[in-house]
Amino acid sequence: MGQHSPQKPSPTGRRRWIAIAVGTVVLVTASSAAWATLANDDSPTHTAAPAAAQGSPPTTEPATANEAARQPTLKTPAPKPPSAAYPNPAKPTEQPANPTEASAKPSQRPTRAKTEAAKPKVRVLSSGSCGASFYDEPQMTASGERFNPSAMTAAHKTLPLGSKVRVTNPNNGESVTVRINDRGPYIGGRCLDLSAAAFSAIGNTGAGVMRVKYEVLAR
Protein backbone atom coordinates (compact mmCIF):
# COMPACT_ATOMS: atom_id res chain seq x y z
CA MET A 1 0.00 0.00 0.00
CA GLY A 2 2.94 2.39 0.57
CA GLN A 3 4.32 2.30 -3.03
CA HIS A 4 2.60 3.98 -6.06
CA SER A 5 3.39 3.12 -9.66
CA PRO A 6 4.00 6.08 -12.05
CA GLN A 7 0.88 7.21 -13.83
CA LYS A 8 1.02 6.89 -17.66
CA PRO A 9 -0.25 9.74 -19.77
CA SER A 10 -3.54 9.17 -21.40
CA PRO A 11 -3.84 8.93 -25.23
CA THR A 12 -5.88 12.16 -25.29
CA GLY A 13 -3.12 14.21 -23.64
CA ARG A 14 -0.51 12.75 -25.96
CA ARG A 15 -2.43 13.86 -29.05
CA ARG A 16 -2.80 17.37 -27.63
CA TRP A 17 0.92 17.81 -27.24
CA ILE A 18 1.59 16.49 -30.73
CA ALA A 19 -0.89 19.01 -32.18
CA ILE A 20 0.77 21.87 -30.29
CA ALA A 21 4.24 20.83 -31.55
CA VAL A 22 3.08 20.55 -35.15
CA GLY A 23 1.42 23.99 -35.00
CA THR A 24 4.58 25.52 -33.60
CA VAL A 25 6.67 24.03 -36.40
CA VAL A 26 4.23 25.28 -39.06
CA LEU A 27 4.23 28.79 -37.57
CA VAL A 28 8.03 28.96 -37.46
CA THR A 29 8.26 27.69 -41.06
CA ALA A 30 5.73 30.28 -42.31
CA SER A 31 7.58 33.10 -40.50
CA SER A 32 10.90 32.06 -42.03
CA ALA A 33 9.38 31.95 -45.51
CA ALA A 34 7.87 35.41 -45.07
CA TRP A 35 11.17 36.93 -43.91
CA ALA A 36 12.99 35.30 -46.83
CA THR A 37 10.47 36.80 -49.28
CA LEU A 38 10.90 40.29 -47.82
CA ALA A 39 14.68 39.95 -47.95
CA ASN A 40 14.53 38.90 -51.61
CA ASP A 41 12.31 41.89 -52.50
CA ASP A 42 14.79 44.39 -50.94
CA SER A 43 17.93 42.90 -52.56
CA PRO A 44 19.60 44.83 -55.51
CA THR A 45 19.59 41.70 -57.67
CA HIS A 46 15.82 41.50 -57.48
CA THR A 47 15.37 45.18 -58.56
CA ALA A 48 18.03 45.10 -61.30
CA ALA A 49 16.32 42.32 -63.26
CA PRO A 50 13.07 44.23 -63.96
CA ALA A 51 15.01 47.33 -64.94
CA ALA A 52 17.01 45.37 -67.47
CA ALA A 53 13.89 43.61 -68.71
CA GLN A 54 12.07 46.94 -69.28
CA GLY A 55 14.92 48.28 -71.45
CA SER A 56 15.87 51.23 -69.21
CA PRO A 57 19.03 53.08 -70.35
CA PRO A 58 22.22 52.21 -68.53
CA THR A 59 23.54 54.70 -66.03
CA THR A 60 26.14 57.19 -67.38
CA GLU A 61 27.87 57.78 -64.04
CA PRO A 62 31.37 56.26 -63.79
CA ALA A 63 31.64 53.30 -61.46
CA THR A 64 34.97 54.28 -59.93
CA ALA A 65 37.24 57.31 -59.60
CA ASN A 66 39.63 55.88 -62.21
CA GLU A 67 36.85 55.58 -64.77
CA ALA A 68 35.78 59.17 -64.07
CA ALA A 69 39.35 60.34 -64.67
CA ARG A 70 39.43 58.50 -68.00
CA GLN A 71 36.31 60.34 -69.24
CA PRO A 72 37.16 62.84 -72.06
CA THR A 73 36.91 66.53 -71.12
CA LEU A 74 34.98 68.74 -73.53
CA LYS A 75 36.96 71.86 -74.44
CA THR A 76 35.12 75.07 -75.27
CA PRO A 77 36.60 76.62 -78.44
CA ALA A 78 38.17 80.04 -77.90
CA PRO A 79 36.23 82.94 -79.49
CA LYS A 80 37.64 84.12 -82.79
CA PRO A 81 38.85 87.73 -82.95
CA PRO A 82 36.57 90.06 -84.94
CA SER A 83 37.56 90.59 -88.54
CA ALA A 84 36.72 93.21 -91.12
CA ALA A 85 34.12 90.93 -92.70
CA TYR A 86 32.53 90.04 -89.35
CA PRO A 87 32.90 92.99 -86.97
CA ASN A 88 32.32 92.63 -83.27
CA PRO A 89 28.56 93.17 -82.73
CA ALA A 90 29.14 94.21 -79.11
CA LYS A 91 30.92 97.40 -80.21
CA PRO A 92 28.55 99.75 -82.04
CA THR A 93 29.81 101.87 -84.86
CA GLU A 94 30.61 105.36 -83.67
CA GLN A 95 28.37 108.01 -85.10
CA PRO A 96 28.51 111.78 -84.85
CA ALA A 97 26.68 113.38 -81.91
CA ASN A 98 24.37 115.25 -84.22
CA PRO A 99 23.90 113.55 -87.62
CA THR A 100 21.92 116.52 -88.93
CA GLU A 101 24.77 118.96 -88.35
CA ALA A 102 27.33 116.46 -89.70
CA SER A 103 25.36 116.01 -92.92
CA ALA A 104 24.62 119.72 -93.26
CA LYS A 105 28.23 120.93 -92.89
CA PRO A 106 29.65 119.20 -96.00
CA SER A 107 26.80 120.55 -98.12
CA GLN A 108 27.21 124.09 -96.79
CA ARG A 109 30.94 124.32 -97.45
CA PRO A 110 30.76 123.83 -101.21
CA THR A 111 27.84 126.26 -101.44
CA ARG A 112 29.72 128.93 -99.52
CA ALA A 113 32.85 128.33 -101.55
CA LYS A 114 30.86 128.58 -104.79
CA THR A 115 29.25 131.83 -103.62
CA GLU A 116 32.60 133.36 -102.77
CA ALA A 117 34.08 132.16 -106.03
CA ALA A 118 31.13 133.48 -108.00
CA LYS A 119 31.43 136.94 -106.42
CA PRO A 120 33.95 138.84 -108.56
CA LYS A 121 36.71 140.73 -106.81
CA VAL A 122 36.38 144.47 -107.31
CA ARG A 123 39.51 146.55 -107.72
CA VAL A 124 39.77 149.59 -105.46
CA LEU A 125 40.96 152.75 -107.24
CA SER A 126 41.23 155.04 -104.20
CA SER A 127 40.09 155.25 -100.60
CA GLY A 128 39.82 157.68 -97.73
CA SER A 129 37.61 158.86 -94.85
CA CYS A 130 35.40 161.89 -94.35
CA GLY A 131 32.07 163.06 -93.01
CA ALA A 132 28.86 161.90 -94.73
CA SER A 133 25.39 163.40 -94.59
CA PHE A 134 22.12 162.53 -96.30
CA TYR A 135 19.30 164.29 -98.17
CA ASP A 136 15.82 163.21 -99.23
CA GLU A 137 14.21 166.22 -101.00
CA PRO A 138 12.83 165.40 -104.47
CA GLN A 139 14.90 167.30 -107.06
CA MET A 140 16.75 166.92 -110.31
CA THR A 141 20.29 165.54 -110.03
CA ALA A 142 23.45 166.57 -111.91
CA SER A 143 23.15 163.44 -114.04
CA GLY A 144 19.74 164.60 -115.35
CA GLU A 145 17.71 161.94 -113.53
CA ARG A 146 15.22 162.74 -110.81
CA PHE A 147 16.52 162.08 -107.30
CA ASN A 148 15.04 159.00 -105.56
CA PRO A 149 15.53 158.91 -101.74
CA SER A 150 15.00 155.12 -101.75
CA ALA A 151 17.75 154.41 -104.31
CA MET A 152 21.36 153.62 -103.34
CA THR A 153 22.87 156.83 -104.72
CA ALA A 154 25.09 159.65 -103.46
CA ALA A 155 26.51 163.04 -104.39
CA HIS A 156 30.24 163.84 -104.66
CA LYS A 157 31.99 167.00 -105.68
CA THR A 158 34.60 165.64 -108.11
CA LEU A 159 34.13 161.93 -108.83
CA PRO A 160 32.84 161.10 -112.34
CA LEU A 161 29.11 160.54 -112.52
CA GLY A 162 28.28 156.85 -112.50
CA SER A 163 31.22 155.97 -110.23
CA LYS A 164 30.68 153.17 -107.68
CA VAL A 165 31.74 153.92 -104.10
CA ARG A 166 31.68 151.51 -101.16
CA VAL A 167 30.86 153.38 -97.94
CA THR A 168 31.56 151.75 -94.53
CA ASN A 169 30.56 152.81 -91.04
CA PRO A 170 33.61 151.95 -88.84
CA ASN A 171 31.48 151.99 -85.68
CA ASN A 172 29.44 148.91 -86.66
CA GLY A 173 31.24 147.56 -89.76
CA GLU A 174 28.19 147.96 -92.00
CA SER A 175 28.82 148.97 -95.60
CA VAL A 176 26.82 149.91 -98.67
CA THR A 177 27.75 150.50 -102.33
CA VAL A 178 26.31 153.64 -103.91
CA ARG A 179 26.33 155.17 -107.38
CA ILE A 180 27.42 158.79 -107.81
CA ASN A 181 24.69 160.64 -109.72
CA ASP A 182 24.83 164.14 -108.18
CA ARG A 183 27.17 166.89 -106.95
CA GLY A 184 27.77 167.96 -103.37
CA PRO A 185 27.88 168.38 -100.47
CA TYR A 186 29.20 171.90 -100.22
CA ILE A 187 29.93 171.92 -96.50
CA GLY A 188 33.44 171.66 -95.07
CA GLY A 189 34.50 168.28 -93.68
CA ARG A 190 31.98 166.33 -95.77
CA CYS A 191 32.73 164.53 -99.02
CA LEU A 192 29.56 162.47 -99.52
CA ASP A 193 25.88 163.25 -99.42
CA LEU A 194 24.05 159.92 -99.32
CA SER A 195 20.45 159.20 -100.11
CA ALA A 196 18.26 158.58 -97.08
CA ALA A 197 18.07 154.84 -97.89
CA ALA A 198 21.88 154.50 -98.22
CA PHE A 199 22.50 156.42 -94.98
CA SER A 200 20.00 154.34 -92.95
CA ALA A 201 21.55 151.11 -94.28
CA ILE A 202 24.77 151.78 -92.33
CA GLY A 203 23.71 154.19 -89.58
CA ASN A 204 20.99 156.16 -87.86
CA THR A 205 19.45 159.01 -89.81
CA GLY A 206 18.68 160.73 -86.50
CA ALA A 207 22.40 161.59 -86.17
CA GLY A 208 22.33 163.52 -89.47
CA VAL A 209 26.12 163.16 -90.02
CA MET A 210 28.64 160.36 -89.39
CA ARG A 211 32.27 159.61 -90.06
CA VAL A 212 32.71 157.00 -92.82
CA LYS A 213 35.38 155.23 -94.83
CA TYR A 214 34.96 155.12 -98.59
CA GLU A 215 36.53 153.13 -101.42
CA VAL A 216 36.18 154.10 -105.06
CA LEU A 217 35.65 150.92 -107.05
CA ALA A 218 36.61 150.26 -110.65
CA ARG A 219 33.67 149.94 -113.02
**Is the bond preceding residue 99 a cis peptide, omega within 30 degrees?**
no
CB 219 within 8 A of CB 211: no
Domains of the chain (ranges; CATH) run 124-217 (2.40.40.10)
3 state DSSP class of 154:
strand
More confident residue, 141 or 66: 141
Closest residue by Cα to residue 197 from 167, 158, 217, 173 = 167
pTM over 0.75: no
Residue 18: per-residue pLDDT: 77
3 state DSSP class of 36:
helix
In angstroms, what is the C-alpha Rg of the chain? Answer: 64
Residue 69: per-residue pLDDT: 53
At residue 92 the predicted structure's pLDDT band, cuts being 50, 70 and 90, is: low
* Dist. CA 110–CA 92, nearest whole Å: 31
- The pLDDT tens digits for 143-195 are 999 999 999 999 999 999 999 999 999 999 999 999 999 999 999 889 999 99
